């Protein structure tokens, strides 16, 4: 039977489930229909606070205002109600439709197992969300770094809008956490492109030493994109001793920046970062970082995270958390090839107990280049604002092809970091070469190969990615974070193939464009990415091209953006059959928002005001309350 609202007939009216004038109470109507016994109604009321109704019935119908459950299912994009049974969505439709469906379902069960006894039928509790709220599928971040987020939040540096302000933050931390000259201080988040009191050049070790309280301490500060570190004079001393009293002249896949006399300035790019002997995180620190990230993820509606740089130790931690019932989100892990030992490479096996499992690892992550903000993105021609630079390729094109083929032949999915147009071309060349050994491109597409970022591409490569079936996994907030300097760095022609999200989506072989944030590089809040995708504006409503957005032709619609952070993200993780949309047979992962971010008639700025009222995974409340 039909369970959607199609056919041109408006849904029948439903009771208005409103609270009293104070807004503190809400009536939840519990209704069930029975063809044999008639219709009965049970009323249940409770005080509605953000944590008031944290235990849901085993089976229930969840309803919103007419058409305000956004399913991300292209065949049935909006419904009034869904029925959840334990962890599964059974059906969707209007309230009368789902009640009739439930009655038929109960009749079938009773006839099969209880000899047709009417009293064996179970009632259907109907829970109505607050007026004006909406329900969307559980949100997924298709590219993020869970432990790195927890680490960054210990001492975040991204709020600093000047070098002076950043040094103030460090001094304050040191005063509150006194340590000796051999105790490393590590933090993340600086971005020299946003400082008002510098020329835009990289900072130096001498800048740190300009503050007496910092001068003698070993300090390592990770740039916001993770592709550069800035260290203090004391850290330089310890690094030099660790390396045997001298720094290498060159570093494959990285660079040590030097002054006019040839001495290191304190900036280490990409692969050169590994030269600095920063102590590894302890198991206690790792758990603390993970738990903080998971807590914050639930609060912003994330039910799935693709962890795009997972070490073996981190995978073991995720499994440990799951065994302790302390992992309420789903983690799709990509093995970090940079941190695999030679033994790991030989012994690592795909870890996948099915697409609904809380922990899975069936892809590897390979890095090809650096980041645009640190002039490390590998370009085919020089940077417009730094003609002596073309970025950093971590591997030659030949080496990259060998590495990818090695993992491909073992059966792994391959996700490749590529920012610059040279890096993206090299990745597509590699996948195209692999495809020539298969019957057709569809076989390549079925393995879900991914380019992570796909940030700056030749115009012809935007289409080629789709033709090859390569998934382009993008982060909309990168566009709005970079837009004030990206065109200066790339020039007016090269920018045409950069941050081209609508073009990538239209070119995609299967209409797939998974969206992420790259947190902690950007905010963990997925609604910020949703806003950036549909507006191409910063959070103040501005862009280099005005209020209409930066290159507005590349904006996504709200429906496309929602699908990108739900169903498309599930597809990229081989999970689209059971996750990513509010459809019959899929897991009951959903989020309740306090306002309608999908309403195209509302100003885009309203999106930034939206609050998560509840996050539900497998039919259970894991944050807030329904």
Domain range summary for the chain, segments of one domain joined by +? 1-137+580-626, 147-275, 283-577
| 116 pLDDT above the threshold of 90 | no
| 31 pLDDT above the threshold of 80 | no
Among 3.30.43.10, 2.30.40.10, 3.40.630.10, 3.40.640.10, what is the CATH number of 1-137+580-626? 2.30.40.10
Residue 441 pLDDT:
73
Q: Is 542 left (phi over 0), alpha (psi -120 to 50) or beta?
A: beta
For the residues 322-351, what does the mean pLDDT come to?
96
Nearest in space to 220 (alpha carbons), one of 165, 161, 272: 272
The answer to whether the beta carbons of residues 625 and 54 sit under 8 Å apart is: yes
Residue 12 pLDDT:
32
| 538 pLDDT above the threshold of 80 | yes
Q: How far apart are CA 13 and CA 16, in angstroms?
A: 9
Among 3.30.2310.20, 3.40.50.300, 3.10.310.70, 2.40.128.20, what is the CATH number of 147-275? 3.10.310.70
Q: How far apart are CA 76 and CA 92, in angstroms?
A: 9
- If residue 148 lies in a helix (H) or strand (E), which one and from where to where? helix 146-152
Q: How far apart are CA 468 and CA 488, in angstroms?
A: 31
Nearest in space to 569 (alpha carbons), one of 512, 511, 502, 514: 514
Residue 83 pLDDT:
98
The percent of residues in the chain predicted with pLDDT above 70, rounded, is 91
Nearest in space to 475 (alpha carbons), one of 528, 403, 426: 528
Strand partners, 480: none
Rounded (10°) angle between helices 397-409 and 421-435: 40
Q: How far apart are CA 563 and CA 567, in angstroms?
A: 5
For the residues 174-192, what does the mean pLDDT come to?
94
pLDDT digits (tens, 9 = 90+) for 130-182: 999 999 999 999 999 999 999 999 999 999 999 999 999 999 999 999 988 89
Strand partners, 587: 88
- If residue 467 lies in a helix (H) or strand (E), which one and from where to where? helix 459-468
Tokens 């799935």 belong to residue: 304
Q: 209, exposed or middle or buried, with CB in 10 Å at 0-12, 13-18, 19+?
A: middle
Token pair for residue 466? 């789709």
Q: How far apart are CA 461 and CA 497, in angstroms?
A: 8
Q: How far apart are CA 313 and CA 311, in angstroms?
A: 5
Token pair for residue 327? 């992992």
Between the CA atoms of 278, 283, 288 and 293, what dihedral angle is there, to the nearest 10 degrees? 80
pLDDT digits (tens, 9 = 90+) for 85-110: 999 999 999 999 999 999 999 999 88
| Other CB atoms within 10 Å distance of the CB of residue 328 | 20
| 19 pLDDT above the threshold of 80 | no
Token pair for residue 225? 């994109």
Token pair for residue 229? 């570190």
Q: Is 50 left (phi over 0), alpha (psi -120 to 50) or beta?
A: alpha
Q: How far apart are CA 364 and CA 368, in angstroms?
A: 13
Tokens 């929602």 belong to residue: 562
Nearest in space to 214 (alpha carbons), one of 178, 266, 265, 163: 178
Strand partners, 550: none
Q: Is 543 helix (H, G, I), strand (E, B) or coil?
A: coil
pLDDT digits (tens, 9 = 90+) for 247-273: 999 999 999 999 999 999 999 999 999
Strand partners, 334: 363
State the CATH class of domain 283-577: alpha beta
Residue 49 pLDDT:
37
Q: What is the mean pLDDT of the chain?
A: 90
The answer to whether the beta carbons of residues 182 and 218 sit under 8 Å apart is: yes
How far, CA to CA in Å, does 84 sit from each of 57, 124, 580, 589? 9, 10, 15, 10
| 406 pLDDT above the threshold of 50 | yes
pLDDT digits (tens, 9 = 90+) for 562-603: 999 999 999 999 999 999 999 999 999 999 999 999 999 999
Token pair for residue 540? 């103040």
CB contact burial 535-574 (16+ within 10 A = b; e otherwise): bbbbeeeebeeeeebbbeebbbebbbbbbbbbbbbbbbbb
**CA angle at 476 for the pair 474 and 478, rounded to the nearest 5°:** 90
Nearest in space to 518 (alpha carbons), one of 527, 526, 507: 526
DSSP 143-169: EE-HHHHHHHTTSB-TT--SHHHHHHH
Residue 118 pLDDT:
81
pTM of the model: 0.90
| 308 pLDDT above the threshold of 90 | yes
Strand order in the sheet with 185-190: 185-190, 219-223, 228-231, 264-270, 254-258
Residue 160 pLDDT:
95
Residue 21 pLDDT:
33
| 449 pLDDT above the threshold of 80 | yes
Q: Where are the alpha helices (DSSP H) in 16-94?
A: none
Residue 439 pLDDT:
63
Token pair for residue 216? 């003698």
Q: Is 343 helix (H, G, I), strand (E, B) or coil?
A: helix
The answer to whether the beta carbons of residues 470 and 405 sit under 8 Å apart is: no
pLDDT digits (tens, 9 = 90+) for 216-229: 999 999 999 999 99
- In a 13 Å sphere around the CA of 587, the CA atoms on its Cβ side amount to 26
Nearest in space to 163 (alpha carbons), one of 229, 213, 234, 211: 211
For the residues 113-140, what does the mean pLDDT come to?
91
For the residues 329-357, what does the mean pLDDT come to?
96
78-79/185-190 β-pairing: unpaired
| 380 pLDDT above the threshold of 50 | yes
The pLDDT confidence band at residue 200, using thresholds 50, 70 and 90, is confident
84 Cβ contact list (under 8 Å, min separation 6): 56, 59, 60, 61, 62, 90, 588, 619
Q: 330, exposed or middle or buried, with CB in 10 Å at 0-12, 13-18, 19+?
A: buried
């Amino acid at each position: 039977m039909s369970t959607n609202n199609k056919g041109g007939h408006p849904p029948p009216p439903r009771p208005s489930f409103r609270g009293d004038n104070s807004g503190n109470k809400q009536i939840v109507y519990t209704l069930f229909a029975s063809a044999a016994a008639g219709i009965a109604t049970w009323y249940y009321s409770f005080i509605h606070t953000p944590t008031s109704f944290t235990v849901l019935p085993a089976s229930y119908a969840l309803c919103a205002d007419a058409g305000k459950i956004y399913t991300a299912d292209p065949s049935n994009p909006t419904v009034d109600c869904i029925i959840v049974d334990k962890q599964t969505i059974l059906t969707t439709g209007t309230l009368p439709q789902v009640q009739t469906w439930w009655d038929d379902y109960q009749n079938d069960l009773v006839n099969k197992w209880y000899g047709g006894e009417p009293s064996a039928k179970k009632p259907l509790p109907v829970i109505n969300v607050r007026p004006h709220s909406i329900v969307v599928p559980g949100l997924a971040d298709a590219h993020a770094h869970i432990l790195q987020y927890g680490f960054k939040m210990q001492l975040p540096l991204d709020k600093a809008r000047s070098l002076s302000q950043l040094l103030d933050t460090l001094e304050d931390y040191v005063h509150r956490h006194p340590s000796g000259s051999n105790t490393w201080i590590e933090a993340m988040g600086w971005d020299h492109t946003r400082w008002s009191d510098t020329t835009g050049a990289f900072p130096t070790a001498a800048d740190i030493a300009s503050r007496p309280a910092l001068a003698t301490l070993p300090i390592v500060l990770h740039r916001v994109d993770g592709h550069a570190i800035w260290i203090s004079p004391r850290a330089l001393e310890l690094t030099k001793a660790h390396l045997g009293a001298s720094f290498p002249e060159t570093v494959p896949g990285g660079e040590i920046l030097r002054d006019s006399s040839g001495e290191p300035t304190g900036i280490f790019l990409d692969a050169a970062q590994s030269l600095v002997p920063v102590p590894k995180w302890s198991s206690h620190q790792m758990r603390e970082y993970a738990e903080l990230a998971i807590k914050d993820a639930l609060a912003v509606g994330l039910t799935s995270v693709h962890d795009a740089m997972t070490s073996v130790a981190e995978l073991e931690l995720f499994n440990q958390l799951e065994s302790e019932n302390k992992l309420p989100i789903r983690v799709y892990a990509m093995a970090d090839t940079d941190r695999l030992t030679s033994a790991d490479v030989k012994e690592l096996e795909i870890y996948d107990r099915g697409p609904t499992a809380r922990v899975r690892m069936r892809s590897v992550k390979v890095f090809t280049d650096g980041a645009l903000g640190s002039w490390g993105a590998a370009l085919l021609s020089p940077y417009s604002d730094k003609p002596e630079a073309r970025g950093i390729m971590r591997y030659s094109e030949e080496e990259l092809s060998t590495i990818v083929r090695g993992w491909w032949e073992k059966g792994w999915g391959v996700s490749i970091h590529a920012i610059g147009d040279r890096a993206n071309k090299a990745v597509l060349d590699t996948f195209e070469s692999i495809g020539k050994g298969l019957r057709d491109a569809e076989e390549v597409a079925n393995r879900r190969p991914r380019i992570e970022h796909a940030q700056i591409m030749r115009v012809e490569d935007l289409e080629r990615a789709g033709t090859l079936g390569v998934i382009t996994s993008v982060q909309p907030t990168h566009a709005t974070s970079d837009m004030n300097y990206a065109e200066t760095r790339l020039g007016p022609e090269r920018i045409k193939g950069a941050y081209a999200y609508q073009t990538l989506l239209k070119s995609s072989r299967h209409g797939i464009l998974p969206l992420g944030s790259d947190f902690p590089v950007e905010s963990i809040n997925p609604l910020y990415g949703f806003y950036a995708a549909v507006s191409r504006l910063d959070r103040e409503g501005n862009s280099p091209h005005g209020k209409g957005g930066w290159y507005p032709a590349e904006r996504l619609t709200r429906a496309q953006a929602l699908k990108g952070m739900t169903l498309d993200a599930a597809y990229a993780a081989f999970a689209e059959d059971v996750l990513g949309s509010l459809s019959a047979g899929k897991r009951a992962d959903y989020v309740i928002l306090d306002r309608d971010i999908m309403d195209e008639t509302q100003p885009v700025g309203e999106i930034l005001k939206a609050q998560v009222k509840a996050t539900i995974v497998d039919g259970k409340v894991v944050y807030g309350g329904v």
